Amino acid sequence: MILIAGGAGYIGAHTNKILTQKGYKTVVFDNLSLGHKEFVKWGHLVTGDLADIQQIRSCFSKYSIEAVMHFSAFANVSESVMDPAEYYVNNVSNTINLLNIMKEYGVKYIIFSSTCATYGDPEEIPMTENHPQNPVNPYGRSKLMIEQILKDYDQAYGIKHINLRYFNAAGADPDKEIGENHFPESHLIPLIIQAALAQRKEIKIFGTDYQTKDGTCIRDYVHVNDLASAHILALEYIKKKSNMSTSFNLGNNKGYSVKEVITAVERISGVKVNSVNAPGRNGDPVELIGSYQKAKEQLGWFPEFNLDQIIKTAWDWHVSNIDSWKNKKH
């Protein structure tokens, strides 16, 4: 049985679906604070909190867990700057609770949702796994701390880990069963789609005078199902091939500016989106692009969805869920 901590959230839910399709048995452990019960359509659900050691322990004693995939985290950069305490407690201490129960039950494998935010400002593009890790905000630092803790737990207790450093997760399940739904929403693609669907007035472009082709920030968008597939490859790799801890970047090796993403949404939706120029966000790196060479060589992973396909799946999901999500607290 695979334990999916945070499996009711965006990336965890997509991974749960693909794990199940591949024949894995899963149990989702989620406190449903940001996740959605409706997203847990596969496997078992344990509603529990990683802050509560006893709840984690009772989940491990009920199910026979062979590996953990750990998605539970707060992941909003601006929020982390305003309230770092929340980030260090929720992301770092709660992960320590999870690891300690893994240790207690002899569970030897963890696939950890890390981030390109652990690198900080890029010194080279595309970024490889060897790029120096100097995060520039508490969110990135909380994830780097966990990577460091994982290294120590490997050395001392033999718990093997793979850090998957995501670039910008986007898109939705092509079958439209699950998708991206944060509240409040802060991510570029869903915000543009909401503007196209008249659910918000406009999209603000954060910064228009950066040193890029059109003055706006560049990001590497990677489809959520590509991230999900990488988790499964990583699990197979760590169990069967390597028994060794390591890290992989998950990106497309390709960057798009904010304006290019807006144009792509307009093209795919056929709707003109209102955009307004706004000041750049504090601490926003100008350009983030990830090399996936190592994941390709060692996991056999490569991204299957390009930007248009990412946006198309996101658009289709939003359109099909307009009514069902409108009146919910989510």
Which active-site residues does the annotation give? 139
Alpha-helix runs per DSSP H in the chain = 10-21, 53-62, 77-82, 84-87, 94-105, 138-157, 188-196, 224-236, 258-269, 293-299, 307-326
Interacting residue ranges for ligand UDP, rule: CB under 6 A: 77, 168, 186-188, 191, 203-206, 217, 219, 258, 281, 284
Least distance (Å) between residue 157 CB and ligand UDP: 32
Least distance (Å) between residue 43 CB and ligand UDP: 28
- Rounded to an integer, what distance in angstroms lies between the CA atom of residue 92 and that of residue 80? 13
* CB nearer ligand UDP, residue 26 or residue 313: 313
DSSP 100: H
Distances from the Cα of 106 to the Cα of 68, 84, 158, 248, 313, angstroms: 12, 32, 9, 25, 39
Least distance (Å) between residue 230 CB and ligand UDP: 18
Least distance (Å) between residue 10 CB and ligand UDP: 12
* CB nearer ligand UDP, residue 27 or residue 262: 262
* CB nearer ligand UDP, residue 49 or residue 220: 220
* CB nearer ligand UDP, residue 182 or residue 239: 182
> In this chain, which residue has its C-beta nearest to ligand UDP?
217
- Rounded to an integer, what distance in angstroms lies between the CA atom of residue 124 and that of residue 20? 38
Relative to beta strand 256-257, strand 218-219 is antiparallel
- Rounded to an integer, what distance in angstroms lies between the CA atom of residue 31 and that of residue 47? 5
